[in-house]
C-alpha cells in the first residue's frame, strides 16, 4: 500500500486501511457542472471544484492511529498539509452518518470519537462495509 502524500508514519507503524472520498458524494457540484457547462463554460468551475475536493483528502487507519490528511494548495503548489488524527486506543466510539442521498447511493461519513477530538471520514463509498473492515483491523 502506498503511503498518502503528506503522511509520516511512526517507526514500526503499518497502514491497515486507506481510502478516499467517493465521487458519488460529490454529486451536487458534479451535477451543477454538467448542467451549467453550456453557460460560458461555467460548469468547468464546478467540475474543477469537485476534482480538487476529491484530490486533496485522504483517509488512513494504521495499527496506531486513525488519520485524515487534508492538503491545501495555492494555485498548483502545495501550501500546507493538515493531519487530523486520533490514537487507536483513544477511540471511544465510531459510527456511520448518511444523508438521504447517501442512503440511496450508498455513501456516507464515518465518525471516530475520542474524549478530546472527533475525526470524520467524509463521503466514503459503502461506509458500513468500510467501517466493518476497519473494526476487523482494530
Per-residue pLDDT of 75-120, as tens digits, reads 777 788 899 999 998 999 999 999 998 899 999 999 999 999 999 9
Question: Is the predicted pLDDT of residue 1 greater than 80, yes or no?
Answer: no
Phi, psi of 132 (to 5 degrees): -65, -40
Helix, strand, or coil here: 8?
A: coil
**Max CA-CA distance within the chain?**
53
Rounded alpha-carbon distances, angstroms, from residue 27 to 8, 34, 45, 106, 121:
32, 10, 14, 12, 17
Contacts within 8 Å (CB) and 24+ apart, 98-107: 98/127, 101/27, 102/25, 102/127, 105/24, 105/27, 106/24, 107/22, 107/24, 107/25
Query: Please, what CATH class does the domain formed by 15-137 belong to?
Result: mainly beta
pTM for the whole thing?
A: 0.84
Question: Is the predicted pLDDT of residue 26 greater than 80, yes or no?
Answer: yes
The pLDDT tens digits of the residues spanning 63-74 come to 999 999 998 877
**Per-residue confidence (pLDDT) for residue 42, from 0 to 100:** 82
The pLDDT tens digits of the residues spanning 36-59 come to 877 877 888 888 888 888 888 999
Amino acid at each position: 500500500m502506498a503511503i498518502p502524500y503528506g503522511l509520516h508514519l511512526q517507526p514500526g507503524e503499518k497502514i491497515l486501511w486507506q481510502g478516499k472520498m467517493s465521487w458519488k458524494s460529490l454529486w451536487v457540484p458534479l451535477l451543477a457542472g454538467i448542467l451549467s457547462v453550456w453557460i460560458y463554460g461555467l460548469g468547468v468551475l464546478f467540475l474543477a471544484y469537485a476534482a480538487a475536493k476529491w484530490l486533496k483528502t485522504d483517509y488512513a487507519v494504521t495499527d496506531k492511529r486513525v488519520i485524515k490528511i487534508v492538503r491545501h494548495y495555492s494555485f498548483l503548489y502545495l501550501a500546507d498539509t493538515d493531519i487530523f488524527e486520533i490514537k487507536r486506543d483513544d477511540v471511544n466510539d465510531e459510527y456511520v452518518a448518511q444523508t438521504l442521498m447517501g442512503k440511496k447511493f450508498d455513501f456516507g461519513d464515518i465518525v471516530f470519537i475520542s474524549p478530546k477530538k472527533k475525526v470524520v471520514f467524509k463521503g466514503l463509498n459503502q461506509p458500513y462495509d468500510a467501517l466493518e473492515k476497519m473494526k476487523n483491523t482494530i
